[in-house]
């Protein structure tokens, strides 16, 4: 069906269920002070982050306002549904009939993020996480989420982030990739509340050689936190699965201690996701490395659960493979996740049937729907999607060209007349909208496969108003 890697979990902060709720409560003042001191102590990153600082300071005019912790209890009026950084209100606006009180329209972080993922695990659904490389792709994914009355996760890889900034930019020290991810994050924050659904803003696989990119994103999170009381991104992923497990855990702990101060979540991976994605090729990986052991997952859980105010997800390998392959070529073993849940629950003294770990599913494209749903039953709360949405976007463009082929051979002249203009057909918005519609259609199936439909309680969206017609730049009739 979809694409991604193993499983991750924004899991509890304490080793025992009795202390889980208490340790998940996020406090503000000490973290603001700690984040500020950490940022001042670090040498300011040259080049890109200096420029990004100007963008992050958009909200400086209202930076003196209190932290965005309180939530308005009533739905937002149309003039209130604005990019929060450009408005004077202190809190997100709106709520959902079926969601925890903390979960609001727009980008969620901190306690709202934890509550949303806990809700997914409790209710037995997983949230689609889509790798995006353009604002058009982002819009299509959030449009699909609203149509399916569901939350969604928008994420960026390092390569996708660089593309978002522009392939004409030099990426020395990952400056273009940092700028692209931050630019995409601002786009998501600008439109997410308009669509009226909760959005988790995330970055995908970060191997050891990409840590400078990760460092730049964390610095951007810290600067945003100083202004707005929350990180720019909801969470980030570290993929150190090719390193020894002890080193993998050690680096994850180091970063999570820093991220916990700004309420930013961490996704980590152990075991290897097969196949190829974004320049990382594991097609010849040792088959044994495609399956994590409960003892290894416990090592990760035990180390990360000790970090005060930290929250994390785990991408454990259970046969996952990036890309799409013929049926039978991918052998998923979701019961590995079930065994890990039972093993860890026993270790922490939890009740039988408890699922202490929130897993993430990578590399699911082409997987059998029964395997996907079994993994969700065992605590998968997020599933990565890339390969299928890439094809869906391209398919929309391909089909548009086929339908209007005779109108796309020149600026003037088509079957309607030799002097007829073709501008409304070759206008990039026309084929891009076709790509978006195809993506929305494919995403609908993803939401259904993951049982992530009608979970917000909003009902069907209203038909958009004030949509421009062909003479004003709309699509051909």
pLDDT at 36: 47
Nearest CA among 178, 208, 365, 176 for reference residue 280: 208
Which pLDDT score, from 0 to 100, does residue 415 have? 97
Please give the domain boundaries of the chain with CATH numbers for all domains: 17-388 (3.20.20.70)
pLDDT at 91: 67
For residues 300 and 359, give the distance between their C-alpha atoms in angstroms, rounded to a whole number.
12
* 339-378 burial code (b ≥16 CB/10 A, e <16): bbbbbbbebbebeeebbbbbbbbbbbbbbeeebbbbbbeb
Whole-number Å distance between alpha carbons of 403 and 434: 11
Q: What residue has token string 């978002």? A: 164
pLDDT value at position 453? Answer: 98
Contact 197, 191 (CB under 8 A): no
Which two three-digit tokens encode residue 288? 């044994």
The structure's pTM equals 0.81
Instruction: Answer yes or no: are the C-beta atoms of 215 and 47 closer than 8 Å.
Output: no
Q: What is the pLDDT of residue 361?
A: 94
Residues tagged active-site? 204
Residue 436 token pair: 């978006």
Residue 204, both tokens: 């995908």
Q: CB burial class (10 A; 0-12, 13-18, 19+) of residue 279?
A: exposed
477 residues of the chain, pLDDT tens digit each: 433 333 334 443 333 333 333 334 333 434 444 444 544 444 444 444 544 444 444 334 334 344 444 343 444 444 455 455 556 666 677 899 999 999 999 999 999 999 999 999 999 999 999 999 999 999 999 999 999 999 999 999 999 999 999 999 999 999 999 999 999 999 999 999 999 999 999 999 999 999 999 999 999 999 999 999 999 999 999 999 989 999 999 999 999 999 999 999 999 999 865 444 454 444 555 566 678 999 999 999 999 999 999 999 999 998 877 554 454 456 789 999 999 999 999 999 999 999 999 999 987 767 789 999 999 999 999 999 988 999 999 999 999 999 999 999 999 999 999 999 999 999 999 999 999 999 999 999 999 999 999 999 999 999 888 776 655 555 553
Cβ atoms within 10 Å, residue 472:
7
3-state SS of the chain is CCCCECCCCCECCCCCHHHHHHHHCCCCHHHHHHHHHHHHHCCCCCCHHHHHHHHHHHHHHHCCCCCCCCCECCCCCHHHCCCHHHCCCCCCECCCCCCCCCCCCEECCHHHHHHHHHHHHHHCCCEEEEECCCHHHHHHHHHHHHHCCCCEEEEECHHHHHHHHCCCCCCHHHHHHHHHHHHHHHHHHHHHHHHCCEEEEEECCCCHHHHHHHHHHHHHHHHHHHHHCCCCCCEEEECCCCCCHHHHHHHHHHHHHHHHCCCCEEEEEECCCEEEECCEEECCCCHHHHECCHHHHHHHHHHHHCCCCCCEEEEECECCECCCCCCCCCCCCCHHHHHHHHHHHHHHCCCCCCCCCCEEEECCCCCCHHHHHHHHHCCEEEEEECHHHHHHHHHHHHHHHHHCHHHCCCCEEECCEEEEECHHHHCHHHHHHHHHHHHHHHHHHHHHHCCCCCCCCCCCCCCCCCCCCHHHCCCCC
**CB proximity list for 210: less than 8 A, separation 6 or greater:** 158, 174
Distances (CA, A) of 472 to 183, 307, 380, 423, 467: 28, 55, 45, 12, 9
Measured CA angle at 233 (ends 227, 239), to 5 deg: 140
Can you say whether the dihedral through the CA atoms of 174, 177, 180, 185 is positive or negative?
Answer: negative
């Amino acid at each position: 069906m979809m694409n991604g890697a193993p499983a991750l979990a924004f899991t509890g902060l304490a080793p025992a269920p009795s202390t889980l709720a208490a340790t998940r409560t996020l406090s503000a003042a000490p973290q603001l002070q700690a984040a500020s001191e950490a940022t001042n102590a670090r040498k300011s990153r040259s080049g890109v982050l200096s420029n990004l600082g100007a963008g992050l300071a958009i909200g400086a005019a209202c930076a003196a306002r209190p932290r965005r912790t309180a939530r308005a209890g009533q739905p937002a009026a149309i003039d209130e549904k604005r990019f929060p950084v450009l408005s004077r209100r202190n809190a997100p606006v709106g709520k959902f009939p079926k969601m925890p009180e903390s979960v609001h329209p727009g980008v969620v972080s901190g306690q709202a993020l934890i509550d949303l993922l806990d809700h997914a695990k409790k209710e037995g659904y997983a949230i689609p996480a889509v790798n995006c490389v353009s604002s058009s792709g982002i819009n299509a994914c959030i449009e699909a989420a609203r149509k399916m009355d569901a939350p969604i996760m928008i994420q960026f890889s390092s390569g996708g982030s660089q593309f978002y900034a522009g392939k004409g930019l030099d990426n020395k020290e990952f400056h273009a990739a940092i700028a692209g991810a931050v630019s995409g994050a601002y786009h998501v924050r600008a439109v997410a509340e308009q669509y009226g659904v909760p959005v988790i803003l995330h970055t995908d696989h970060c191997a050891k050689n990409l840590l400078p990119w990760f460092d730049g994103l964390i610095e951007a999170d810290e600067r945003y936190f100083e202004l707005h009381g929350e990180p720019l991104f909801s969470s980030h992923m570290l993929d150190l699965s090719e390193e020894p497990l002890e080193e993998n855990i050690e680096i994850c702990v180091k970063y999570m201690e820093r991220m916990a101060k700004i309420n930013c979540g961490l996704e980590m991976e152990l075991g290897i996701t097969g196949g190829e994605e974004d320049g990382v090729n594991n097609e010849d990986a040792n088959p044994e490395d495609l399956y994590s052991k409960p003892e290894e997952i416990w090592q990760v859980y035990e180390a990360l659960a000790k970090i005060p105010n930290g929250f994390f997800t785990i991408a454990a390998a259970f046969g996952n493979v990036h890309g799409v392959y013929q049926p039978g070529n991918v052998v998923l073993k979701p019961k590995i996740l079930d065994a890990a849940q039972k093993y860890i629950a026993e270790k922490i003294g939890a009740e039988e049937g408890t699922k202490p770990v929130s897993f993430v599913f990578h590399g699911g494209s082409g997987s059998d729907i029964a395997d996907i749903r079994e993994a969700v039953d065992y605590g998968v709360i997020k599933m990565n999607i890339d390969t299928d949405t890439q094809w869906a976007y391209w398919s929309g463009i391909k089909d548009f060209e086929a339908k209007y082929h005779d109108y796309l051979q020149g600026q003037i002249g088509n079957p309607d007349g030799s002097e007829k203009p073709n501008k409304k057909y070759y206008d990039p918005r026309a084929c891009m909208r076709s790509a978006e519609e195809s993506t929305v259609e494919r995403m609908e199936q993803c939401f259904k496969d993951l049982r992530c439909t009608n979970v917000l309680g909003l009902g069907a969206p209203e038909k958009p108003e004030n949509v421009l017609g062909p003479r004003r730049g709309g699509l051909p009739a």
